[in-house]
Every structure is written in structure tokens, then in C-alpha cells.
Structure 1
Amino acid sequence: MSIARLPTGGLNHNLKRAKVSILLVLGFSDEDKIGTIQPYDDALVITLRIGGYDAKRVIIDQGCAAEIMYHDLYKRMNLKPDDSTLYSSPMVGFEGRVVIPKGQIRLPVQTGSEIVEVDFIVVDVYLPYTAIMARPWLHMLRAVSFTLHQNVKYPSEAEGARCEDLKKVSIRDDPENFFQVGSQLPLQEKEALIEFLKRNIDVFAWNAYEVPRVDAEFICHHLKVNPLITLKKQPPQRLSREHADAIQEEVMKLKQARVIKEMFYLEWLANTVVVKKKSGKWRVCVDFIDLNKACLKDQFPMPKIDQLWMQRLAIIG
């Protein structure tokens, strides 16, 4: 694990703020990949000192909402059943099987010189890991984890890590088209970055209307409509002149950008809905409520880990 420390030297920045403070930016570079075998796409697994015991094969999972300790590690630490408190809320495992936790226990977790108290839910199931450290622990440490570099970084001083101030850099004559770069970047790096952005300006789209149409041979989305559903035509709604003009303008922009094309569907008809934005402009939407009800629900072939763990930690009432 890597410890990011606050700089000790004095830095003078012309910040437009009443208070001038030194900002810490946690980041990763190619130097952090030293010692890893690339390309690397495995999970982030570390050794962590939990309750005075060096626990190996601890996985860091940003998608998990609670820290989990498996019963094998619980027994290795010579913990007794009386050491944990009651935690009777059932959880659902990956395979859909209901798991009854053995209990909950609070233990100190040491990372370098930092020690935080963590509540672990103890479960008696088999996994190749001894524990799972989740978002609560990462947030308490204000840590940043990165699987590519197999690293966890966190601030070691009380000031903590905050985002670096950003500076607007206009690329075109239009002030609405700009990039934002870090204000504390060294001058040479900042100039090289801006020059790189200018050389590749053609790959950026400043609004949705500049995005070219995606070739259907590359990717195409099909609606999975239930064939047993009765086709429905929504009755036409009368629009005000202002709403009709907003819809006409939006449709022309989308057609010009080749995002949409004119089609005639006699089976399904849906009305447009015009909503005013906070900026005072109009947002044009389509009422797809009836069509959404007719579409079959897709099942994820590879559910994401945060969804799996939220199901696992779901309370069955």
C-alpha cells in the first residue's frame, strides 16, 4: 500500500480565495505499476492488519456497501462466538442462496500509522478471500484504490485530500468551448497538455449535435418488445405555440446531426413532453411509458459487483 503525504515545503499560489491552503492530489503514475505484471486485470487483494492479526487475501471492493469477514479468518484470530454481537438480517449470496450472518464485530484496522474502527459482518461461506474491505473503510481513510496499479493511497495528515483547482483554457474563439486543466500542474506539463489537446481537437464534441452517427454495423440496439402486448397509440396532445417551436427546433438539430431520422410507425405512437430547464431553455422528451411497459426486462449476463453485494446485503422482510 502507498501512503501519500502532504508536502512540507512552502508554496505560494495566487488563489482567489480568502484562505490559501496547500492542496494534496492523490494520483497514480507508471512508477506505481513497478512490481506488477502488465497487462493486469485482477482484483485488488492486499494484506491488512485486522485486530492485531495480519490478514492475507483481503479484497478491496469499492462496489460493496459493508465490510465482510469470513468465518475462517474469524477462527484464525481466536475470536469466540461471544465476541460478536447479534446480526440477524439475512443476506442473499451470489447464487441466490440466503445466508444468515454469524454476527457482527468491531475491530481496529491498521493501515500504516492510521487505525480506524471497522464493523465487520461475519458470514460462514466459502470464498477465496478472508475479508472484504468496502466503501465505509475507504471513506474513513479518504483513500483512493486502483486495481491497475494494485495500490491504495490515502492522506497521512489531518488536512486530507481535496480536489485540485481547475483553470479554464479556451481552445477555440468561442468562450463556451474550453478545457479545464489543473492549476498546479508544472508549466512545462501544462503547455504540453494544452498542445496535445489542440492537436486532437477534432475528436471532441462540444454538444450532442456534433456527435456523428454510429454505424449500425458497429453496434445497434433493438427493443425487445413482448409480442403478447397490445400495441398502443397515445392520443395526440395539443401543444402551445412555444412548445411546438421548441420541438421543431430540437428535431431539426437532431436530424441535421443524423442522430434521428424520419420514420412512420402506425402501430406505436408516443407524445413529446416539453420541460423547462433551470437555464430557461426547453428540454424535449418523449413519453415512452407505454413502450417501456411492453419491453421485456434484460438480464445482465455479468452483474456488477456492487449490484451483487447490494443483493447480498438486502434485508428480506
Structure 2
Amino acid sequence: MPHNDPLLVDIGIGECQVTKVLVDTGSLVNLIFRDTLDKMGIDLRGMKPSSRTLTGFNGSSEKMIGTIRLPVYAGDTIRGDQRAARELLIAAVKLQQSVSLINSVAKPIHKKYPQKEENREVHIDEADPTKVIRIGAFLFDEMQSQVISFLKANASTFAWTTSDMKGIDPAVASHELNVDPTFKPIRQKRRKLGPERSKAVNEEVDRLLDAGFIAEVRYPEWLANPVVMKKKNGKWRICVDFTDLNKACPKDSYPSLTSIVW
């Protein structure tokens, strides 16, 4: 039945079952307390260190000790429990250490949805073999069929090449960086790239110029070096070192990360 009550679910995280998890669709971060990970027996050697700070609605800030990726399995759904949802929310806001009456961690009897990383490649346009998408191979056959049918019916919606993305007229929408005017612009010293990386950068610049994504400017106030990284498929990923520019912009108090641990 339709309802407006807070939604709570039972989920499995790693090898443990976590009960009464509040679903907040407006949240940009997933928080896990250090003592919770210890109780779950999670190996923290897989955690990536982080020095970022998270600021709450009440203005208080806490430093993160790192980020970690954990498999999550959906379990039974509990609906309409206003009291449990309110207690869980209050406990999270006040950063209470004892939440035994609200949340519990236990070893699961079984996993309802074993998570796998395998993907299945599907051609969604018989006339163009380059139009290939990947879907989870662990999906049920019926769901796979529904997803594939939907994608084939809407194949023209996707941008398969840069030329397919025509952009938006600035009269409709435009964005600008919120740079602090008190910061002095920084021109990074040019870094030398090897022949292979230089070729990859030139090809990427030409591709973006042809697509109209970038334009040449002269005597800019900010200068940043390209950063060239090799992807798993052997191709080059072209990025830009915006470290200095990021320092001149206001910090995002609610960064979007997989999981943040205090």
C-alpha cells in the first residue's frame, strides 16, 4: 500500500547482517562508524586513507579516517515504523556510541542476493555493432530481458560519440566556478610528458575541439597541467590537475563518496 512513513530495511554489509537501516534519498554520503566496522570484523587494510572533513547540519565537523568499499545485499523491508526511524535518526545526529536498541549487527544465515562483478555485453542496435552496453550478468532472466528491451527501444537517447552531444545553449543554462576573489590566480609550471602521453593529450584536445566542447583561450589567469593515466583497457585517461583551483573554491560539506568512516 502507498505510504509516507520512513522506510527501513534489513541489509547485509560484507559478511554481516545489519537491521533497521534508514533509507534517506537525500543523503550524499554513507557513514559507517569505526567501532561498527570493528564489531563486523572488517579488515581495515583495504581502507583508503582520507584527510577530508565532514560537516553536519548543526555546524560541527569531524575528520574521516578513510573510505572503504563493502558489498551490500538487500534483505526484507520494514515499512511504517515511525518510532524506530525517529530513534535511528536521533542516534545518528547526536553521534551516539550506543545504538544497541536501534541497530544490531549479526552474522547472516544466508545472503539473499549474492553480488557478482560479471557483466554481459549486449548489442542494442543490429545495424550498428559498435553500440554495445553492459548489464549485470547476475540479474534474473526476466529482468535482463526487460532491461534489454527498454534500452533497445531508447537506443537513440544515448550519446555514442562526442558528436552526438550537441550541448546546451548558454541562454538556457550556464555554469561558472565559485572562485574566492581573494585568491591569487596560479599558473602551474609546465610539466613535461613523454611522447606517448603527449600524443594522447594532443588527440584528446583535437577530439574535444572538433566536438565543440572546448575552445582556445589566450593569456588565461589560471593554468593547470594535464594528468595522463592509463586505464585498465590500455587506453589513456586525460585529466587536469585542478588542485590549485579547488583550493580557491568553497569546500563541499557533503561530498558524494561510497562510504565514509570516522
Compute the TM-score of the two structures, normalised by the length of structure 2. 0.53
Change (3 A) 1:238 1:160: closer
Count of residues in Structure 1 that have an aligned counterpart in Structure 2 = 191
Equivalent residue for 2:86? 129
**Residue type at the aligned position of 1:60:** L
Equivalent residue for 2:121? 168
- The 3-state SS of whatever aligns with 1:273 is strand
Equivalent residue for 2:42? none
Measure, in 2, the Cα distance between the counterparts of 1:258 and 1:141. 54
**Residue type at the aligned position of 2:129:** D
Equivalent residue for 1:297? 251
- The 3-state SS of whatever aligns with 1:251 is helix
Deviations 1:156-185 (A, max 9, x none): x63532248764321234256134366632
Equivalent residue for 2:132? 177
Equivalent residue for 2:217? 263
1:287 aligns with 2:241: yes
Structure 1, unaligned runs of 5 or more: 1-34, 47-57, 67-91, 99-110, 113-126, 143-156
Give the conservation status (yes or no) of the 8 Å contact 1:237–1:271: yes
Q: 2:7 aligns with which of 44, 56, 59?
A: 44
Change (3 A) 1:270 1:44: same
Identical-residue share of aligned pairs (%): 32
Q: 1:60 aligns with which of 1, 15, 22?
A: 22
- The 3-state SS of whatever aligns with 1:278 is coil
Equivalent residue for 1:158? 110
Give the conservation status (yes or no) of the 8 Å contact 1:233–1:267: yes
Give the superposition deviation at 1:233: 1.9
Change (3 A) 1:59 1:94: farther
**Residue type at the aligned position of 2:140:** Q
Measure, in 1, the Cα distance between the counterparts of 2:240 and 2:195. 18
Structure 2, unaligned runs of 5 or more: 10-19, 25-29, 34-54, 62-74, 77-83, 93-101
Give the superposition deviation at 1:140: 4.8
Equivalent residue for 1:241? 195
Change (3 A) 1:160 1:141: farther
Give the conservation status (yes or no) of the 8 Å contact 2:190–2:225: yes
Change (3 A) 1:265 1:209: farther
Considering only aligned residues, what root-mean-square deviation do their CA atoms show, in Å?
4.5
- The 3-state SS of whatever aligns with 1:129 is helix
Change (3 A) 1:60 1:228: closer
Deviations 1:87-111 (A, max 9, x none): xxxxx9742479xxxxxxxxxxxx9
Measure, in 2, the Cα distance between the counterparts of 1:214 and 1:61. 34
Matches for 1:65-76 after TM superposition, within 5 Å = 65=32
Compute the TM-score of the two structures, normalised by the length of structure 1. 0.45
Measure, in 1, the Cα distance between the counterparts of 2:119 and 2:238. 32
Measure, in 1, the Cα distance between the counterparts of 2:130 and 2:56. 52
